[in-house]
Amino acid sequence: MDLLLLEKALLGLFAAVTLAIVMSKLRGKHFKLPPGPLPVPVFGNWLQVGDDLNHRNLTALAKRFGDILLLRMGVRNLVVVSNPELAREVLHAQGVEFGSRTRNVVFDIFTGKGQDMVFTVYGDHWRKMRRIMTVPFFTNKVVQQNRQGWEEEARHVVEDVKRDPKAATQGVVLRRRLQLMMYNNMYRIMFNYRFQGMDDPLFNKLRAANGERSRLAQSFEYNYGDFIPILRPFLRGYLKKCQELKDGRLKLFDDHFVAAKKKTMDQLGSKMELKCAIDHILDAERRGEINYDNVLYIVENINVAAIETTLWSIEWGVAELVNHPEIQRKLRQELDTVLGPGVPITEPDLQKLPYLQAVIKETLRLRMAIPLLVPHMNLHDAKLGGFDIPAESKILVNAWWLANNPAHWKNPEEFRPERFLEEEAKVEANGNDFRYLPFGVGRRSCPGIILALPILGITLGSLVQSFELLPPPGANKVDTTEKGGQFSLHILKHSTIVCKPRA
């Protein structure tokens, strides 16, 4: 017991000295740092602000300290940006300076210290990865080649739900079936592969592994070891779990999908016809542009960045439509009038459906899946809003607050798609307005927007065309309590939805 206390005291002392050195170094540079709560030795502001730095807590801090503020979380500097002008500075004007990503002990494991694309620093590797991924994933050609597949997957969802006798009475957790749909949408693009159904063992293995990856990475549980490096030995168990999961997941992707393709590529070389995304990625590997690990990390990135975010947004959209029956009715009316009753929605129809587009924009505004964007980072000392930003600070752009600040939006707490047809008619999801950045903007913005928007449109459109979406018996609303993570936001309780087929 005494030994343990002694060990803790020594650790504390060591950490205090480390922080004192860091702070004296910063002071020595005569930095004019952004305002923020007064840090205490070792812990900085950690004990004052706590672990859960979600978009709402950061908004409360911005109201106290201003649109740019600094938090010291142990040895880490965290800068929070909360107005459109500063967002423009970070993402656009100084997009190179602030275009890197922070990682932490856990993300280092899951990304092999930035061998992927999403979490790598801004530089040659990122540029190469983004270029290699563009043709197989992020072009209009990809949308045109895959949109019938997405329409088909949405029809399968409708058929399966109609077949489930409980759906129209007690209701079903619609998300579960939509999750299978999202896996199929993305695995068709990646590997030309579809899972057979909810009981497909491979689907369930992947779902579990990806879910655990999200949980471990987004949790606040490991903050202490990240903020105070001397405490890292206490994280050994957690990091071991992450490492095993990461190895298992990459092996799963390799054994079931990538290795066989690689073998064919090795046999056929440049004669291989490039049919799905992985063929293009392996072709880049064959030409020596990237290595085999990079290939697996691309698959890893798509599994997380594409499937989860889009699924969360669909789930939020369904919840808001259930809780706003008049909006749901108006949307159904638009679908019936423009397409004709019972005519299934297709991707080319989306441009004729302004109200559907407004519903999607409003969902992404009020319920932003990545409300703080993926954290940015400056590799070198930088200036922002008249302040000095020490090198390697984590920069959080509070995109949720930019899109929910009553100073910039009329009654932002209301779910009102009409705003995007009226006073905000010119605002698009692609970042043409720095108040509304659900996909970020600039160099590190989401390249998947080109796929996400049509998938959202086809899915929500199909559901509303086919069903009256209602809360479960006995409730008049679904619970929309939020669950945030390091930078994610989803619904806490997956809602049970009654899906009453339309006559």
Residue ranges binding ligand HEM (CB under 6 A): 91, 117-118, 130, 137, 301-302, 305-306, 309-310, 313, 369-370, 373-374, 438-440, 444-448, 451-452
Residue 483 in contact with residue 492, Cβ under 8 Å? yes
**Closer by beta carbon to ligand HEM, 86 or else 167:** 86
Q: How far is the CB of 282 from ligand HEM (least distance, A)?
A: 18
Cβ closest to ligand HEM, residue 34 vs residue 371: 371
Nearer to ligand HEM, 216 or 369 (CB): 369
SS3 (DSSP) at 434:
coil
The residue sitting closest to ligand HEM, measured at its beta carbon, is 448
Which one, 335 or 369, has the nearer CB to ligand HEM?
A: 369
Q: How many CB atoms lie within 10 A of CB 452?
A: 23
State the Cα–Cα distance between residues 328 and 324, nearest whole angstrom: 6
Q: How far is the CB of 440 from ligand HEM (least distance, A)?
A: 3
Of 146, 142, 114, 140, nearest to 129 by C-alpha is: 114
Pseudo-torsion of CA 244, 249, 255, 257, nearest 10°? -170
Helices 140-163, 174-191: inter-axial angle, 10-degree rounding: 150
* Cβ partners under 8 Å of residue 253, min gap 6: 296, 299, 300, 303
Query: In what helix (H) or strand (E) does residue 497 lie, and over which residues does it extend?
Result: strand 496-501
Least distance (Å) between residue 368 CB and ligand HEM: 7
- Residue 117 CB, shortest distance to ligand HEM, in Å, is 5
Dihedral angle computed from the Cα positions of residues 221, 226, 231 and 235, in that order, rounded to the nearest 10 degrees: 50
Residue 242 marked in a binding site: no
**Alpha-carbon span 344 to 360, nearest angstrom:** 18
Return the number of the residue (87 or 327) whose C-beta is nearest ligand HEM.
87
CB of residue 457 to ligand HEM, shortest distance in Å: 11
167/491 with CB nearer ligand HEM: 491
Quote the least distance from Cβ 495 to ligand HEM, whole Å.
18
Name the binding residues: 446
Name the binding residues for heme: 446
